[in-house]
Amino acid sequence: MSSPDSFGRVVFHLLPRAPLTLSSYTFSSLYLAGYIVDAAHIRMVETSGSYGLSAGQVATNEFTGLGPAAALGPVTAVAGDGTGTLTGFVDFGGGTADIPVSGSFAVGSNGVFVGTFTGLDTASDTVADNFTFYLVDDTRVVVIETDNTQLTLGYLELQQ
């Protein structure tokens, strides 16, 4: 367990002696973010897992010109000590091939998760765009693009 940061966040890294299976989910390592609520309680949030990604965009893109685009696909989040990674793919529809996505995330100095996604930029799937990740609850995350490239609003939901 890490020391609490200025927002009362601690990181638990659980390492079983052998891979552990719970409810048909097998893991060999598990990261949990814990937020100190009061002197007797810590709120735990799993920060690793398989998520479904749904993203809507308004941008100039190769598929529709200037206008909306939508991306759907699976994303795996793997939390680390301080920084996590994102990998997966998205489908923009229209008969195009799936596009790999990758990225990273970390808790910022203000307690908000910030990071990047590569593969969601409709002008170039190799550009890393900046995002803010807002935890809704234990299973859902709202993702908002925060750079000047395009307007992207996404939603991640933990898959059980």
| Per-residue pLDDT reduced to its tens digit, 102-135 | 999 887 766 678 899 998 887 788 989 999 988 8
pLDDT at site 83: 74
> Does residue 76 sit in the same domain as residue 133?
yes
- When divided into structural domains, the chain yields a total of 2
Lowest mean pLDDT among 6-15, 25-34, 91-100, 117-126: 25-34
Instruction: Give the burial class of 90: count Cβ atoms within 10 A of its Cβ; 0-12 exposed, 13-18 middle, 19 or more buried.
Output: buried
**Measured CA distances, 140 to 45, 72, 84, 108, 137 (Å):** 10, 15, 16, 19, 6
Q: How far apart are CA 154 and CA 35, in angstroms?
A: 24
- Residue 159 contacts residue 51 (beta carbons within 8 Å): yes
List pLDDT tens digits, range 43-97.
766 666 788 888 888 765 555 555 667 888 899 887 766 678 899 999 888 777 8
pLDDT at site 107: 75
> Does residue 135 sit in the same domain as residue 60?
yes
Answer yes or no: is 2 within a domain.
no
> Does residue 29 sit in the same domain as residue 70?
no
> Domain range for residue 112?
49-158
Answer yes or no: is 76 within a domain.
yes
> Does residue 76 sit in the same domain as residue 64?
yes
Q: How far apart are CA 96 and CA 87, in angstroms?
A: 19
Answer yes or no: is 106 within a domain.
yes
Instruction: Give the burial class of 120: count Cβ atoms within 10 A of its Cβ; 0-12 exposed, 13-18 middle, 19 or more buried.
Output: buried
More confident residue, 6 or 158: 158
Answer yes or no: is 3 within a domain.
no
CATH number at residue 106: 2.40.128.120
Answer yes or no: is 66 within a domain.
yes
> Does residue 34 sit in the same domain as residue 97?
no
pLDDT at site 59: 63
